[in-house]
Structure formats: C-alpha cells, structure tokens
Chains A and B, each alone.
Chain A
Amino acid sequence: MSARMKWNLAQGLAVVACLLAAWGPAGAETSATVAIVGATVHTMGSAGTLQDATVLIEDGRIRAVGRGIPVPAGARRIDGRGKVVTPGLFDSLTQLGLVEVNAVAGTRDGVDQNDRITAAFDVADAINPRSMLIPINRVEGLTRAVVAPGNGKSLIAGRGAVIHLGLGPDLLVRSPAAMFATLGEQGARLAGGSRAGAMLLLREALDDALDYAAHKAAWEKAERRPYTLSRLDLEALVPVARGELPLVVAVDRASDIEAALRLGRERHLKLILAGGDEAWMVADQIAAAQVPVLINPLSDLPASFEHLGATLENAARLHRAGVSFAFMSGDAHNARNLRQLAGNAVANGLPWDEALRAMTVNPARIWHLDDRLGTLEPGKEADVVIWDGDPLEVTSAAERVFIRGVEMPRKTRQTELRDRYKSLGGVLPPAYEKP
C-alpha cells in the first residue's frame, strides 16, 4: 500500500469516526422517561426477582428498580401488571448483520475464502445495520449479540464484535470483542488434515505475533526472520497473544477442549470455548481453568465423531460443576429462538434463573460489558423487555422491547407480509395492501 493511500484511509476513518459519534449514544437521549409499573421483574442483579415492581428508564439508562418507586411527573407509564420484565437477551454467537439470505452469496459476509485472509479480518467492516434480520430478531427480545466471523481457509477466522440491535447506523458495542479460531475437525481440515497441525499453526501464529511486537522496528527493516502471517494479521494477534483480547476457540470433543485449555494455560491466553458439546465430560478442568464456555443447549446429536457425547443435559452438568457459560444460537435469522434453547436447558435440569443468566448477566461478564449491561440495576443501559408470560416458554412473547432506553418499533418485514395476506380475497391484489 502506498503512503498516499494510507493517508487517505486514515482521513476516511476520521470522517467515519465523526459520523459515528453523531449517531452514538445520542439516539438514546431523545427517549422520554418511562416507568413500567406493577410487573414481575427479574433484575438478574443482587435484588433478585421482584413482584409488583417498577422499572424506571431515563436517558437511555435504568434509573431505578424496586417496589413502590414513585413515578416522576411527565413520565410515560406502562402498565406492567401480569407481565414479566427482564434485561434484553444477549446471544453470544451469531452472524447477525453479516447475512441476509444464506444462499445468496452477495448478502453473505461472514466468511472469506481468500487464503490470505486470517486474523486481521474484522466483521466490523461488513456489518449491515440496516439488515432486515435485526428488527425481526429484536422484536422478540434479542437486544445484544456477538457477531462472529466464520472460517474460510484459515483456522484463525478473524475478529468479531458485540453489537446492539437498536437503531443504527452504529451498532458496535465492543469491536473487536474477540479473536475467533477453530480447532477440532474443522481446524484439522484447514491445517491440512491433522489436529496436531492445527495446534502447531496456532502456536506459531501466537509466537510470531509476540516476536513481531518485540521487534517491530527490526522487522520493518527486514532484519528479523520472516513470519508466516502478514503485518496486519500479526498486529491483530498481538493483543490475543498478550492475553488482552479474548481468543474464542471452537471445540466440541473433550480431547480438543483439553488441548485448548493446555494452550490457554501455557500461553496465558484469555480463552473462551465455543461449542463445547462434550464440555460436561471435562467440566472440572474447565471450571478450574476459569474458562467460560459458549454452548447451544439443544445440540444433542452425535453429528460427527467430535460430538459423540452431545447431550441436552450439557448446560445442567456444566452448571453443577461451576463452569461459567452463556448461550449461543450460532444462527442469524432465528437467533430470536435463543430463549427456546434456554427453556429446553431448564427442561433438562438447569435451574430457571441460571438459564436466564446465560442470556443476560453471564454474557455481559464474559464479554466484559457487565459494567454496562446484563442486569436491571441503576446506571445500566436500558435494554428492557416486557414479556406476556414466562420468557423461556415457547408460547410467550415479547410485547415491548427497549434498547438503550428507546422503545423499538413493532413493525418488521414479517409483520408486513402477515398483514398483507391476513385476509385473502380483496378486490385489489395483495400488492396494493401496504401495512
């Protein structure tokens, strides 16, 4: 890249930064004070669950939560009697903003098949805040999500972000939030065929990143040994190798989890495991290493030889072993079904509170956002959902969704389709029905 191009890029980024600032938390400033009164409130904080309680939202944040809290004059009052209020739900692994239609390649940005693309790949450069999937998911109570890259040709996929599902265009909450890599069968395949090869490549990349960081000047003058990765990839890996940026490793087989834990220990990485179908088999080791796990609690098929121990009881067993975990859908279109996954975890032995925690306060902690998110406590960003019943029950639904204090519109592409075709047989064709 020429010096001139670099300068242009820097200038461009500065302009983008100004635009983003104008769209940032300012969106929340326009919200009025809202009081949700008389609801069952699951604060997920030290106050626990409160009956007949009030949630006060002001300037995009939770102002107060409790029983008998006075509603300020001029506040918008929402009757919460018979309703259930929770923090907004947080999906710890999605492709939201990276895909519109999976089979339409032009709408798909989660995976790059260029074999030069690896650690420096950053989903933040591709996220589409106007994706039709975002309203469809948020009206059902999903307010935050990790957007993760998928693996193309490299076992190091690149950097993912945490987004909010509110009004854009800036959806980024934390970027980069983590580096994503895969071991197990997929990692082995990408490395050339063996798990040992995958581990070798990962170690080499981390070593090179540290060496590069320590000898940057020498490397620039070509006085250092060559590295297998490009400069930008090494730059991206430096905070991972230093244990500053989390490394999310996709692993399911118990032995792959053990290998990942060994790597994390030996390199002092900030490790997060994703997948973890057999995590229950090595739960004590995971708990001792204090490594969090992102799981899909519905994953119970022996879908390949690395999933043989998959069971619906994974979440319950991890909980009993003291492992910190959060739920992930791994999906985009139906990330909204995260709470169904949670309900099934409860049906298979996980305490109800723990299931809700795995979609609220646990991910907030795992993604280092617990100072801002995850509970309904004063000062937290006001991601609040009012449910018509038990949020983990498949027949319940979100009635109102607030993200950063702003109530989200209920209309989505799907409600428009529904309303267009709800009554067939009008004089004019449905194309004239514009809900």
Chain B
Amino acid sequence: MGLLLALGIAGIAAMACASAPSHPANAGSSKPPAPGTPVETPANLYPSTYKPIPSPPTLIRNATVLTAAGDRIEAGSVLFRDGRIAAVGKTVEAPAGAVVVDGTGKWVTPGIIDIHSHLGVYASPGVEGLEDGNEATDPVTADVWAEHSVWPQDPQFPLSLAGGVTAMQILPGSANLIGGRSVTVKNVPARTVQAMKFPGAPYGLKMACGENPKRVYGEKGRAPSTRMGNIAGDREAWAKAADYKRQWEGYRDKVKKGEKTDPPGRDIEMETLVGVLNGEILVQNHCYRADEMAVMIDVAKEFGYKISAFHHAVESYKIADLLAKEGICSAMWADWWGFKMEALDGIRENIALVEKAGACAIVHSDSADGIQRLNQEAAKAMAAGNRAGIPITREQAIRWLTINPAKAMGIDKQTGSLEAGKMADVVLWSGDPFSVYSHAEKVYVDGALLYDRDDPKRQPEMDFSLGMNAGGGR
C-alpha cells in the first residue's frame, strides 16, 4: 500500500513535469516569430546593474600582505586605482592624489568570499514573512532563482561586510534535489538585488544529497523518501534536460539548413538544467557523506556535467584522493558535526586533509553567524591541521577563503587574489587575520571603502535597523 502510494504520487509528479514544456504560455516573448527566423532562448534577462562606487586611488603600505596567489609579502604595499588592483609588492609608489593608508602592524588580504550563504533569502528577523529560501513544493525546482527571493535590506549583509566578506554566493536551501539557481553578489548595500549582482558571474545550480530531500518529501508521502529515490529523481531530471537540449539542437540544425520548423516550447526549469549541461551554470552540490559524493560524481558523468563543489562536505577527508582526481572543490565547516546522522563523522582535520591531498578546499559558512567570522573558522582548521602533523601555512589557508571559492564560483579571473588587474576587493585587518582578536578594519569592494571600523559614516545600516535600537549602537 505504502509502496503503491509512493509510486502513484511519483507518477503524478512525473506527469506534471512532463506536461510543462508544452505550455507556450511560458514563452518570454508574446509575438510568434516570423517563419524561418531562428529563435533562441533569451540570455541575460535579469542583468546586473551593479556599478562600482567611485573611489580615489588608494595605497596601503607597510602591511603584511597575503595575496592568495601563494605569496606573503612582509612590509608590503597594495595599490588600487579605478576599482582595480594596480600593483602589489615590496615597494609601490603612491600616485598623485592617492589616499595612503598606513598598514604598519596590519595585514592585507583579498576580500573574503563565502560560497555558501542564505543571506537575503533567510534574513533577520527570521520571521515567516521573510522565509524565502526553500521552494519545498517539489523535489526538482530548477526553475526558481535565489535572486528573486533576496531581500537587499537584510541587516545580515552589513554584519558580514564587517567580517571582511566582499562577495558571496546566495543559494536556495536544501529541501530539494535540485533547488534552483544561486546568485553571486557583491556585498554592497543596494536598493535592488540587480544592483548587487556580481557582473559576469556564472549562475550556480543548487543540488542536495542525503537526508534533507528524502525527509522533506518522505514526510509528505511522496518521492523521494530514500537515498535511492534521491538519485532516481536526479537522473529523471537530467534525462529530461538532455532530451530538451536535443530538441533545441534539432531545431537549430533545421533552421541552419533553411527548413521550416517551429521552435520547441520554452521550459524555464529545463533552461537552467541545459545551462548546466552546456557548462554555463556551475553545480553546487550539498552533500555530506563520502559515499554519496562518489555516487553524485557518477550521476554527473552519466549526463556529462561537472560538479563544481560539494558543500557541507564533512566527509571529504575520506575520499580526498578521489576529489583531487576529479578536480572537485569541497566547501566545509571548520568544526560542525553531529547535528544529524550524515554530519556525525565531521572532524576538525577535514579541511587540512583535503588540502594535503591536493584537492581544492574552501571554508564556507551556511550561517549568518559564521559568515561574520570565516577568518576564525579557517584559523581553527589550519591549527587543527598543524597539530595533527599536516603543515598548513597562512599563505595556504587564506586561499580557502578567497581564490578557491572564487574558482568554484567561476569568478577567479575577476577577484579572489591580490593581483594586478583584478577587482580591488580588499580587506585591511587590524592584525593577523587568523587571530580571534583581529578585526576587518577597512573593507574595500572594487576599490571603494564600504566599511571602516573607525568611521561610523562608513558603516552601512539597513532600513530595517532604523529606529529599532538595532545593532546596539554598534
């Protein structure tokens, strides 16, 4: 009976999905195309309107510089101009009119990048009216986009800015096997989400393994209710996407040959999945257990897509060799463990062991608390490695917070390290960033000073906080 019920509901779900592409009402443009005119699915429909805030040339001098490109420069300088890094080195001359910041006793790093955040989609205050992170109504909701839930006035954004975070990937939650598109934003206060969107950043696709999807839908008496159900749901979605891709390729072939043909109907969900199959959208896969990651690697191979990073990968240390071979990043916490069965085997040395295996290690937060102190999380992971005989330097550990997440988010050409030509996303720390006592003193996004611990005029405050005693007069 239970089995029959589950099958019946899965059947209905499959039907509902299968019928989706035939809805021409979904089409973006209202006018039918002229015969013979090639039709393409529109690109860049929801463009970034982000504009760097104008800033004077700025030279930070005589600081300890961790470039995240491998170097540590003692008494070094960083010059940025027109929003870009102009020079990094031992001695850099200040151009005329430059703001010169004395970095004596201080450290400079690239801006911190959190690859796993729900700011704006699970805002503070955490009231029902602001819970917008999980479209938990169907296990596959590739059609939803996190940016359409982001509340730019979330007071958690400025708190994370004070922690040195200059960019983040905001993801849908993990209720679903395929939870929708992520959005990568610059951590800039803005009136609209479009004005936060990181220009040129690829989208991510949130996928989830394990306990969450099977619990959420199992409790509703529908598929998936098991891990095998999870995988079946994933494969069904990808098989459909492959089919949809073929339909469009067939259509384009015919158009190219000058044959008269109608374009296939648009399917918003499939457009996202095909974006993954085409390598334009990066898969960000919530997956705790080592054995499940290995299965997801096989699913990706079956359908010809690539997994960019496993998130919450508490068991990466068990298959660090495989992850290195496959070139998949692991986004991890320093020490979270035990809150559910699939998190039971979390250990403090996870991140260091991934690094040791030559795989890509990332420290992520998944938390409005943790995002404020990612430097401390990296410090704990580094120290745990060192104590266990896995030597980790600060030059390495800074990469877990900067260039490695940038790589897994597809923005490493623009940001993530202090190299000439890159965006001037920069943090000046009051001391060693791997110390609990250090603060992000000045945080620059594209060269603009957006947070200054010593200047209340450079500390943004969201609308919500006004007149509420919020922030405790911080």
Contact = CB atoms under 8 A, between A and B. Distances in A.
Interface of A: 100-104, 133, 278, 280-281, 298, 300-305, 307-314, 317, 332-334, 336-337, 340, 343-344, 346-347, 392-397, 414, 417-418, 421-422, 424-425, 430
Contact of B127 (A280, A304, A317, A346): A304
B435 A395 contact: yes
Given A304-B125, A418-B349, A421-B317, A101 B474 contact: no
Given A311-B474, A414-B347, A417-B345, A346 B468 contact: no
Nearest to B383: A395
A80 B320 CA distance: 37
B380 interface: yes
B339 A103 contact: yes
Nearest to B387: A397
A296 to B, nearest CB: 10
Contact of A395 (B340, B344, B382): B382
Interface residues of B, number: 53
A340 to B, nearest CB: 6
Given A101-B341, A424-B357, A302 B470 contact: yes
B376 A394 contact: yes
Most chain A CB neighbours (cut-off 10 Å) among B321, B347, B434, B474: B347
Contacts of B388: 418, 422
Contacts of B468: 302, 308
A309 B472 contact: yes
A309 B155 CA distance: 12
A394 B341 contact: no
A300 B317 contact: no
B436 A102 contact: no
Contact of B383 (A102, A278, A397, A421): A397
Nearest to B356: A422
A138 to B, nearest CB: 15
Contacts of A430: 318
Main secondary structure on B side of the interface with A: loop
A100 B338 contact: yes
Contacts of B337: 333-334, 414
Contacts of B318: 421, 430
Contact of B437 (A100, A104, A346): A346
Nearest to A103: B340
The list of the 8 closest CB pairs from A to B, nearest first, reads: A311-B472, A343-B436, A103-B340, A395-B383, A333-B338, A102-B339, A394-B379, A309-B469
A344 B338 contact: no
Contact of A394 (B338, B349, B434): B434
A101 B339 CA distance: 5
Nearest to B376: A394
B347 A424 contact: no
6 contacts: A101-B340, A103-B340, A309-B472, A393-B436, A417-B345, A421-B353
A422 B126 CA distance: 40
Contacts of B317: 418, 421
A319 B118 CA distance: 34
A301 B368 contact: yes
Nearest to A314: B472
B437 A302 contact: no
B369 interface: yes
Contacts of A395: 379-380, 382-383, 434-435
A39 to B, nearest CB: 19
Given A298-B369, A301-B159, A101 B472 contact: no
Contacts of A104: 340-341
Given A308-B469, A424-B357, A302 B155 contact: yes
A344 B465 contact: no
Interface in B407-434: 434
A334 B336 contact: yes
Nearest to A392: B436
Contact of A303 (B125, B320, B345): B125
Most chain B CB neighbours (cut-off 10 Å) among A100, A278, A334, A392: A334
A100 B344 CA distance: 9
Contacts of A393: 435-437
Nearest to A339: B436
A103 B341 contact: yes
Interface in B378-421: 379-380, 382-383, 387-388
Contacts of B382: 395
B271 interface: no
Contact of A424 (B321, B345, B348, B439): B321
Contacts of A421: 317-318, 353
Contacts of A418: 317, 347-349, 353, 388
Nearest to B378: A394
B82 interface: no
A281 B469 CA distance: 9
Contacts of A343: 436-437
Contacts of A278: 469, 472
Contacts of B349: 418, 422
A308 B468 CA distance: 7
A428 to B, nearest CB: 15
